Structure 1
Amino acid sequence: MLKQLLNEARLRLRITTTGPLLVKSGLSTVGGPDMTPVLTFRNGRQEPFLPGSSLKGVFRSHVEKIIASLRPRVVCYPFAGSEGQEADLEERRRTYRDSCGGRFTSEAKDNDQRRHYLEAHTDEVYACSCPVCRLFGSTWFIGRLAIGDAYLVSAPVRELRDGVGIDRLTGGAAHRAKFELEVISAGVTFECAIHLRNFEIWQLGMLFVVLQDLEDGLIHIGSGRSRGLGWVKGAISEEEHESWPGGFVTATIRGSDAREPVSELWGLGRWLNERPAVRETGLGRYGTWYDDLVKLPAGIERRPRGIRHLRVFTNEALAQLREEAIGHFIRRIQEWPEESAVLAALAAGGRV
């Protein structure tokens, strides 16, 4: 699957602080604040930024909670080997399935034949992975969602805030527990690029859920979130950037898109599968679905750019795509197949 580029989606995400924000650098200062924001050298100066790895971690954690709320035991528990630290192991097992990466590692441990098989059959690894690992990756499968560092697009404004440790016995300030924070003020805007390749339509919906919650201010970023830090809002930028159009942009390779009707947007399942391998489940190669597509409103024309054809979604067209894709996401999670059905689909001819 990863040796072909079938479809892509790109956007630029603007994140604006609505309150103080601190993504800690982890480096102490001499005679300065105890906690400072992470910095990078850019535009001839040191300036704060939001690391793409931090954003990806926040997005993944948020999606895991959403999927676990929609249907238990669909998303995996990412912290394999930490069962001894669980306060309520039975509750965790009712909510999450076993770690995808941990499961494949366990199968391959001390079994070279199984390890070589899994390394050669990425279709099975992908098909048997949970929804979050399919998009964000695991120790056995590379993620297909890339999130770049978010750099400043407005003037940086930083301020010092006092903090104090709380005495758990009295509820008052602990003696000599004062500390200082250097935070980014409200009203500062960052921007990053997000790139998704070989997507399924429900994965677009998963991404749109995160973007919608960012727009609604429901996702907090950085340190001190329980103390009032990290309040942000996000939106898709509709401004052109380095000759790349704004809005939500999908792309296919020129020539291959002759199979895809102008009135439809195909996901990975529709690109891969000519017919479902197992008709009862509709599953085909890589555990994808044949009906992996959405109908598009009129006027979304393809634009040539290099070897790609682009489609640009803004305003009402973007809103319609978002609602359709989120609907796919909810339906797929609620109907997520058991592993036995996935393996049956591969055995019945879905495997490449």
Structure 2
Amino acid sequence: MFKTIRNFHIFHLKITPKSGFHIGSGDIDISPVATDAQFVRLNTPWGRTVYIPGSSLKGVFRADAEALLKSMEKEACEFTVDTNKDCGGKQEIKNFQKSEEIYPKVCHACKMFGNMKMASVVRFEDFFPFEGDDGDDEKSRKIKEIEEYTFVRNGIKIDRFTGSTVGGALYDFEVLNGGNFYGNVLLKNPEIWQVLMFYKTINNINDGFVKVGGKKSRGLGKLDVEIQSLEIYSTTKNAITFTTFENGRFMNKNVEFNFQNAEKEDDLIGLKIKITNKDEIKSYFDQMLTKLPESW
């Protein structure tokens, strides 16, 4: 599936917390004054910083895609620690080596996000509070600035019978309540429906239907995801070449789109398109919706 380049879709995203936001580090600090659940942090050349792991985002996007697929009566396996319930643990594909053999045997969620037997079409970066082309001083400054948005919230345990607090059950956790995170998500050789599914989850997050991180039932986890720009690389100069799977093999599907406010230039592999206009980005996905195969 990935031996031949057909197209890349690169989403340049900005993520902004719109409520308290928590992704736990999982670390245990023995200090008696340390917060019980600290926000995940990472050492960088510009300082130690809070960040959003790409793995956390991938989990959110996959879970929403699975729910959407099931609502459309498309197959989505139960990707759990019980490998007998997910596609990667299917006995019938364990001896397969070629993607042409594996792809038709797995569910739509695994076709998009991969499993133990095949790579993901969608590749997430870690998201940081600075942009990649920021200078060293700017990155250091933004790391210090985002710490101003961190604070500690307290939690208690309620006795279900008395309705009062349980003694000794006070705990606290670190929350982020602002700032911006930047990063990219790459879709390599996607089918049309996979690009649309990714875009749909972005909209679901922005609409508040999907939250990110921990303690979501307590009001945390609402984010705004802005597509700052979308870069598309295609091997066809007058169309965008998507992947399709027909008759037991991967094939090209060339699809033409009408772009009004996009930058186009010839590229080594074919065509490069960059879209920064928000209306143009929406128009692209509106057009794509009409290009879906009839089976969808």
* Whole-Å separation in 1 of the counterparts to 2:278 and 2:82: 46
The one of 156, 159, 171 aligned to 1:167? 159
The answer to whether 1:146 aligns with 2:123 is yes
* Whole-Å separation in 2 of the counterparts to 1:139 and 1:146: 15
Q: Is the 8 A contact 2:236 2:270 kept in 1?
A: no
SS in structure 2 at match of 1:68:
helix
The corresponding residue for 2:78 is 77
The answer to whether 1:183 aligns with 2:162 is no
SS in structure 2 at match of 1:53:
helix
- Range with greater deviation from structure 2 (121-130 or 294-303): 294-303
The answer to whether 1:216 aligns with 2:198 is no
The one of 42, 46, 60 aligned to 1:40? 42
**Cα gap change, 1:328 to 1:134, in 2 (>3 Å):** farther
Q: How far is 1:302 from its partner?
A: 3.0
User: What are the superposed Cα offsets for residues 19-70 of structure 1, whole Å, 9 maximum, x if unpaired?
Assistant: 1111001112212111100101125321100000111011100111111112
SS in structure 2 at match of 1:295:
coil
AA at the equivalent of 2:52: L
Q: Is the 8 A contact 2:153 2:174 kept in 1?
A: yes
SS in structure 1 at match of 2:69:
helix
Structure number, greater radius of gyration: 1
The answer to whether 1:62 aligns with 2:49 is no
The corresponding residue for 1:316 is 279
* Whole-Å separation in 2 of the counterparts to 1:301 and 1:44: 33
TM-score normalised by the chain length of structure 1: 0.72
* Whole-Å separation in 1 of the counterparts to 2:109 and 2:93: 22
> When the two structures are aligned, how many residues end up with a matched partner?
278
Q: Is the 8 A contact 1:164 1:177 kept in 2?
A: yes
The one of 92, 102, 113 aligned to 1:107? 92
The corresponding residue for 1:14 is 14
AA at the equivalent of 1:195: L
Q: How far is 1:229 from its partner?
A: 1.4
The corresponding residue for 1:199 is 190
**Cα gap change, 1:147 to 1:75, in 2 (>3 Å):** same
* Whole-Å separation in 2 of the counterparts to 1:18 and 1:299: 30
User: Whose RCO is larger (CA < 8 A, sep 6+)?
Assistant: 2
SS in structure 1 at match of 2:170:
strand
Structure ranking higher in helix proportion: 1
The one of 230, 242, 251 aligned to 1:267? 242
**Cα gap change, 1:128 to 1:293, in 2 (>3 Å):** farther
* Whole-Å separation in 2 of the counterparts to 1:52 and 1:80: 20
SS in structure 1 at match of 2:279:
helix
**Cα gap change, 1:44 to 1:24, in 2 (>3 Å):** same
Q: Is the 8 A contact 2:260 2:280 kept in 1?
A: no
The corresponding residue for 2:236 is 257
* Whole-Å separation in 2 of the counterparts to 1:62 and 1:19: 20
Gaps of 5+ in 1: 84-97, 110-114, 238-246, 273-282, 337-352
Q: How far is 1:79 from its partner?
A: 2.4
Percent identity, aligned pairs only, is: 24
* Whole-Å separation in 2 of the counterparts to 1:78 and 1:328: 29
- Range with greater deviation from structure 2 (138-147 or 307-316): 307-316
Q: How far is 1:126 from its partner?
A: 1.0
Q: Is the 8 A contact 1:201 1:292 kept in 2?
A: no
The one of 122, 125, 135 aligned to 2:99? 122
Q: Is the 8 A contact 2:243 2:250 kept in 1?
A: no
* Whole-Å separation in 2 of the counterparts to 1:175 and 1:325: 57
TM-score normalised by the chain length of structure 2: 0.84
Gaps of 5+ in 2: 131-141
* Whole-Å separation in 2 of the counterparts to 1:285 and 1:312: 33
